[in-house]
């Protein structure tokens, strides 16, 4: 009997390939609302209904759908076009990037009323990396947050402009639009941590039906570059080739097989015969710096951005402010400890993916999942030796980033493959590749020493940092410098001493990650500050208030050089006061026999990264009375497309709905450095305000008034250069209970106070803080990319990694300080990455308060907590006099 399936009321007879899952079948016949998050049944992004029942279509054999009715997000229907669940997600804005949303909606739409009352259980198979789940729970409960209509935009809960597309599955993510005659590229990856390729025999691979080409290191341009993207190509070391003869970590790409289908390309990869000469490898950064250690990049030079190649040191920082030794000698209390932070993964639900093609004008086009389309264009031009004008980079909707897409991890290979074959080529990383071959947060070992007088004033702060950058140095210098900066420049102290090293090892590369080094350093510094407060017997909030920098103080960390950070506003006191009050007043009962404690941590962040961030925005008056806003930055769930429209509407005095946005296409809009460092508001947003002001001024000139037609020729332009920069604060507080018999933590209160300046969209800003807190809690509690002693990443699935589910994330109360930043657009500050930073130390401090034990290593997993508490108990049993 021939195969036939009914999808959204339409009959399909295409026979599935042997073993094909329903997810890929549905996408092949055009239902792109079905997403790939994991292809392992862990995330739920691919959820569809089969005969009315929700299934993970990545696990469901397409053949089994024969004779059945399948409904995807595009097939959900309601009275006025939207299904009630879709309407709920629209009203509550139950999404950020929106990549999980179709699957979430399909899962919820299949729930009984009883299941909707128990989301921790009934949503356990549905992951969202962006939202922290509160807005999703609100969507299910029918809570509405959006405010539409009205004139102007600032302070309003405007919905995302793509809301309807997101909730209906019509939003076009990276691979939802592809050119015809598409080829697929699969990457062969090294099984060795350190080796030299002797030969690659491609003959068997090329014999696989459907395989079109194989690219090896012999096909690669020999132009060095960095996968890390910054405004200056020189900010990251040039240590990478598209395909290198030397492999430096297990998982490095060694060849690319291009074929008519993914299956053929995968078979081609299996048939490649690659011979290697193995080299000694080093996996520990401390060992890598020792004399005699294997050297990963012996030929790189300081001019290429590698500080001391012979010692595997990519970058180092040595800062001296005042006399640290004298400061410690003058202290009444000196606390010193070593802290360790682990490797964690961004886990954006849309994996790295792109499609490249050459158009009729011989221009290279790349549609990619990137936070930095303009910087990716520059890198492709550099690597491929093409003028930038011959390269176009654009994004569709980007399914999350968190810094992970401030890299060029697939675009270069896809471009090379399309130039070789003359046909469009697509690459889509698997979830396993995301863990084993994409980038992670930099693991760090941090020694902190703080001296303070009896009255609480700090006399000296000392940091020693070793950052493991893995096999390549993308973002290694920036993460090290940034991490060592605001973590201590937040404190007024006459003496500071910093020594930091970013070190190559034969492990999966680290890269940009939300917080950009601050989450690691702030964990260490804020844990140490808590201990100083204990030793002095001073309230930890009071100790921070005593020492925090204030307008008039110089903000210094590693040098006294003039820099461009100013006090645009200062809301730290308000944040500290709000959190202190909440923790003191909390009376939530704890389970009987559990240990109760509370803790806090303070984080400061410069609102813009240093060394250049640029944006040029235009606004054009349209004949119908609306406006076309053109912004270069990308939307990946950070909400800039919403806020940019609000800023423009506020200045132009029109409804938000009158602003039509075009963005993130290097052919269509003007230059923007990209969406990282929370610059979407403070740089691109500032340029938006200036463009709107320019247009408003032109529109008020008499010559431009007579008709709307004349006005339609008017365009306002605004630029922003990312300087001077301001500061923002986040304070997190936890009150927790700990089960001493199991190590389990129960959250009694979670609160974050944020100094965001003018809150342009309270609903959205709150969502960024909730999402950042949830992601940080995952990193604080259980997330850990495990690398074994041989350099193999052993955590290669969501299931093994433990991304927070709705059951893992407590409700976090979000409070905004009442500040107006004189440097930010209409008073606003950045608030996307910074909410992550105080969460782990606040939790560690609460744990210390509850148990009396200082935990210096992340994650604070239940088994580790239990083991430490048990060890302490044994210690007391063996040495009863210590009690
Ligand atoms: Fe859920 Fe981005 S909105 S993963």
Residues 637-685: tens digit of each pLDDT: 989 999 999 999 999 999 999 999 999 999 999 999 998 888 899 999 9
To test ligand 1's pocket by mutation, which of 73, 98, 103, 434 has the most ligand atoms within 8 angstroms of CB? 98
Whole-number Å distance, alpha carbon 847 to ligand 1 midpoint, is 30
Q: Cis link prior to 724 (omega < 30° from 0)?
A: yes
How far apart (Å, rounded) are the C-alpha atoms in residues 583 and 590?
A: 14
pLDDT at 686 over 60: yes
Cβ of 89 less than 6 Å from ligand 1 = no
Q: Give the pLDDT confidence score for residue 711 in this predicted structure.
A: 52
Joined tokens for residue 48:
């569809």
To test ligand 1's pocket by mutation, which of 349, 431, 639 has the most ligand atoms within 8 angstroms of CB? 349
Joined tokens for residue 527:
């844990």
Whole-number Å distance, alpha carbon 532 to ligand 1 midpoint, is 39
pLDDT at 709 over 50: no
Mean pLDDT of 702-708: 54
Q: Whose CA is nearest to atom 2 of ligand 1?
A: 97
Joined tokens for residue 275:
């011979």
Sequence-distant (≥ 6) Cβ neighbours of residue 81 within 8 angstroms: none
Joined tokens for residue 89:
């997600």
Cβ atoms of residues 831 and 761 within 8 Å: no
How far apart (Å, rounded) are the C-alpha atoms in residues 765 and 163?
A: 17
Q: Give the pLDDT confidence score for residue 710 in this predicted structure.
A: 46
Sequence-distant (≥ 6) Cβ neighbours of residue 818 within 8 angstroms: 571, 574
How far apart (Å, rounded) are the C-alpha atoms in residues 635 and 156?
A: 19
Q: Is 108 helix (H, G, I), strand (E, B) or coil?
A: helix
Cβ of 128 less than 6 Å from ligand 1 = yes
pLDDT at 706 over 60: no
Q: How many CB atoms lie under 10 A from the CB of residue 332?
A: 14
β-sheet bridge partners, residue 597 = 736
Q: Give the pLDDT confidence score for residue 79 in this predicted structure.
A: 73
Q: Give the pLDDT confidence score for residue 880 in this predicted structure.
A: 59
Q: Work out the pLDDT band at 612, boundaries 50, 70, 90.
A: confident
Joined tokens for residue 867:
């083991």
Sequence-distant (≥ 6) Cβ neighbours of residue 717 within 8 angstroms: 616, 617, 618, 690, 691, 694
pLDDT at 391 over 80: yes
Mean pLDDT of 269-280: 98
Whole-number Å distance, alpha carbon 169 to ligand 1 midpoint, is 13
Q: Give the pLDDT confidence score for residue 708 in this predicted structure.
A: 47
pLDDT at 47 over 70: yes
How far apart (Å, rounded) are the C-alpha atoms in residues 726 and 272?
A: 53
Q: Work out the pLDDT band at 611, boundaries 50, 70, 90.
A: confident
The secondary element (H helix, E strand) that includes residue 546 is helix 540-547
The whole-model pTM stands at 0.96
Q: Give the pLDDT confidence score for residue 883 in this predicted structure.
A: 42
Mean pLDDT of 223-246: 95
β-sheet bridge partners, residue 333 = 452
Q: Whose CA is nearest to atom 1 of ligand 1?
A: 128
Burial status of residue 318 (CB atoms within 10 A of its CB: 0-12, 13-18, 19 or more): exposed
Of 544, 380, 521, the C-alpha closest to 445 is 521
Joined tokens for residue 522:
């702030």
Whole-number Å distance, alpha carbon 350 to ligand 1 midpoint, is 9
How far apart (Å, rounded) are the C-alpha atoms in residues 99 and 129?
A: 9
Of 185, 236, 723, the C-alpha closest to 413 is 185
Q: Give the pLDDT confidence score for residue 461 in this predicted structure.
A: 98
- Ligand 1 atom nearest to CA at 637: 2
Mean pLDDT of 68-84: 92
Q: Work out the pLDDT band at 234, boundaries 50, 70, 90.
A: confident
Sequence-distant (≥ 6) Cβ neighbours of residue 874 within 8 angstroms: none
How far apart (Å, rounded) are the C-alpha atoms in residues 503 and 483?
A: 15
741: phi then psi, degrees, rounded to nearest 5:
-85, -20
Mean pLDDT of all residues belonging to the chain: 95
How far apart (Å, rounded) are the C-alpha atoms in residues 102 and 110?
A: 12
Q: Give the pLDDT confidence score for residue 879 in this predicted structure.
A: 67
Of 508, 496, 513, the C-alpha closest to 775 is 513
Q: Give the pLDDT confidence score for residue 462 in this predicted structure.
A: 98
Whole-number Å distance, alpha carbon 96 to ligand 1 midpoint, is 5
Cα angle 287-289-290, degrees, rounded to a multiple of 5: 65
How far apart (Å, rounded) are the C-alpha atoms in residues 638 and 677?
A: 11
Strands 253-259 and 496-504: unpaired
pLDDT at 705 over 60: no
Mean pLDDT of 34-62: 97
Tokens 């979430």, located at residue: 104
Give CA torsion, residues 161, 176, 75, 105, to 10 deg. Answer: -60
Judged by average pLDDT, the poorest of 401-410, 705-714, 834-843 is 705-714
Mean pLDDT of 776-805: 96
Of 498, 495, 421, 504, the C-alpha closest to 465 is 498
First to last CA, the chain: 77
Q: Give the pLDDT confidence score for residue 562 in this predicted structure.
A: 64
Q: Work out the pLDDT band at 233, boundaries 50, 70, 90.
A: confident
Q: Work out the pLDDT band at 766, boundaries 50, 70, 90.
A: very high
Could you tell me what percent of the chain has a pLDDT over 70? 98
Q: Give the pLDDT confidence score for residue 881 in this predicted structure.
A: 56
Mean pLDDT of 133-155: 90
Burial status of residue 534 (CB atoms within 10 A of its CB: 0-12, 13-18, 19 or more): middle
Cβ atoms of residues 638 and 663 within 8 Å: no
How far apart (Å, rounded) are the C-alpha atoms in residues 697 and 706?
A: 15
Question: pLDDT of 484-531, one tens digit each?
Answer: 999 999 999 999 999 999 999 999 999 999 999 999 999 999 999 999
pLDDT at 324 over 50: yes
């Amino acid at each position: 009997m021939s195969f036939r399936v009914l999808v959204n009321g339409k009959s399909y007879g295409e026979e599935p390939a042997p073993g094909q899952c329903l997810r890929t079948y549905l996408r092949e016949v055009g239902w792109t609302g079905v997403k790939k998050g994991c292809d392992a049944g862990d995330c739920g992004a691919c959820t569809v209904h089969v005969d009315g029942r929700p299934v993970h279509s990545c696990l469901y054999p397409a053949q089994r759908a024969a004779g059945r009715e399948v409904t995807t997000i595009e097939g959900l229907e309601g009275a006025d076009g939207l299904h009630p669940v879709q309407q709920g997600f629209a009203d509550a804005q139950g999404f950020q990037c929106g990549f999980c949303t179709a699957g979430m909606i399909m899962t919820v739409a299949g729930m009984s009323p009883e299941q909707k009352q128990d989301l921790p259980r009934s949503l356990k198979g549905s992951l969202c990396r962006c939202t922290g789940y509160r807005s999703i729970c609100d969507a299910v409960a029918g809570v509405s947050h959006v405010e539409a209509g009205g004139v102007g935009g600032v302070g309003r809960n405007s919905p995302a402009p793509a809301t309807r597309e997101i909730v209906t599955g019509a939003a076009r993510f990276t691979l939802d639009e592809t050119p015809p005659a598409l080829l697929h590229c699969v990457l062969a990856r090294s099984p060795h941590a350190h080796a030299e390729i002797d030969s690659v025999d491609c003959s068997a691979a090329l014999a696989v039906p459907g395989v079109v080409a194989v690219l090896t290191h012999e096909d690669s341009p020999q132009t060095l570059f960095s996968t890390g993207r910054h405004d200056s190509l020189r900010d990251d070391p040039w240590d990478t080739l598209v395909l290198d003869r030397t492999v430096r970590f297990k998982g490095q790409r060694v060849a690319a097989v291009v074929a008519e289908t993914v299956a053929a390309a995968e078979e081609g990869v299996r048939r490649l015969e690659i011979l290697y000469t193995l080299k000694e490898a080093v996996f520990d950064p401390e060992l890598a710096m020792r004399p005699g250690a294997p050297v990963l990049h012996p030929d790189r030079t300081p001019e290429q951005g590698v500080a001391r190649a012979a010692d595997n040191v990519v970058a180092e920082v040595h800062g001296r402010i005042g006399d640290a030794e004298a400061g410690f000698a003058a202290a009444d209390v000196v606390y010193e400890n070593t802290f360790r932070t682990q490797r964690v993964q961004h886990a954006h639900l849309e994996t790295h993916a792109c499609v490249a093609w050459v158009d009729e004008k011989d221009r290279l086009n790349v549609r990619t999942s990137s936070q930095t389309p303009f910087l990716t264009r520059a890198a492709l031009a550099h690597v491929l030796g093409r003028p930038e004008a011959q390269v176009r980079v654009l994004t569709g909707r980007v399914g999350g980033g968190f810094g992970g897409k401030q890299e060029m991890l697939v675009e270069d290979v896809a471009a090379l493959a399309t130039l070789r074959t003359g046909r469009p080529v697509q690459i889509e990383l698997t979830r396993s590749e995301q863990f084993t071959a994409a980038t992670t947060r930099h693991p760090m070992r941090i020694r902190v020493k703080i001296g303070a007088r009896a009255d609480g004033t700090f006399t000296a702060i000392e940091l020693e940092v070793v950052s493991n950058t893995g096999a390549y140095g993308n973002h290694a210098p920036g993460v090290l410098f940034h991490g060592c900066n605001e973590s201590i420049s937040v404190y007024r102290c006459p003496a500071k001493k910093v020594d930091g090293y970013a070190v190559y090892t034969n492990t999966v590369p680290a890269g940009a990650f939300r917080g950009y080094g601050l989450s690691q350093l702030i964990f260490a510094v804020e844990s140490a500050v808590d201990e100083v407060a204990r030793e002095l017997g001073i309230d930890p909030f009071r100790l921070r208030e005593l020492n925090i920098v204030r307008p008039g103080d110089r903000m210094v960390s590693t040098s006294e050089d003039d820099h461009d950070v100013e006090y645009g506003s200062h809301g730290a006191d308000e944040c500290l006061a709000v959190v202190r009050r909440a923790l003191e007043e909390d009376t939530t009962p704890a389970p009987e026999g559990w240990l109760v404690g509370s803790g806090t941590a303070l984080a400061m962040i410069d609102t813009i990264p240093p060394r250049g961030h640029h944006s040029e925005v235009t606004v054009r008056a349209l004949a119908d009375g609306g406006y076309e806003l053109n912004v270069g930055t990308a939307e990946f769930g950070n909400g800039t497309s919403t806020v940019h429209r609000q800023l423009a509407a506020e200045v132009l005095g029109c409804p938000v709905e009158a602003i039509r946005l075009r963005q993130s296409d290097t052919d269509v809009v003007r230059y923007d450095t990209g969406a990282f460092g929370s610059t979407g508001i403070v740089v691109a947003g500032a340029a938006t305000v200036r463009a709107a002001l320019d247009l408003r001024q032109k529109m008020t000139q008499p010559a431009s008034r007579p008709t709307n037609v004349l006005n339609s020729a008017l365009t306002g332009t605004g630029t922003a250069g990312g300087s001077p920069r301001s500061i923002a604060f986040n304070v997190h507080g936890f009150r927790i209970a700990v089960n001493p018999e199991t190590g389990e933590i129960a959250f009694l209160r979670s609160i974050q106070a944020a100094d965001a300046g003018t809150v342009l969209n309270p609903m959205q800003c709150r969502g960024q803080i909730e999402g950042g807190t949830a992601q940080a809690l995952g990193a604080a509690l259980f997330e850990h990319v495990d690398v074994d002693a041989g350099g193999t990443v052993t955590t290669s699935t969501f299931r093994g990694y433990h991304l927070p589910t709705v059951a893992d994330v407590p409700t976090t109360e979000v409070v905004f300080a009442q500040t107006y930043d004189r440097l930010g657009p209409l008073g606003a500050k950045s608030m996307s990455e910074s909410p992550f930073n105080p969460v782990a130390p606040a939790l560690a401090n609460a744990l210390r308060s509850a148990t009396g034990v200082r935990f210096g290593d992340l994650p604070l997993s239940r088994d580790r907590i239990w083991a430490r508490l048990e060890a302490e108990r044994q210690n007391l049993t063996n040495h009863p006099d210590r009690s």
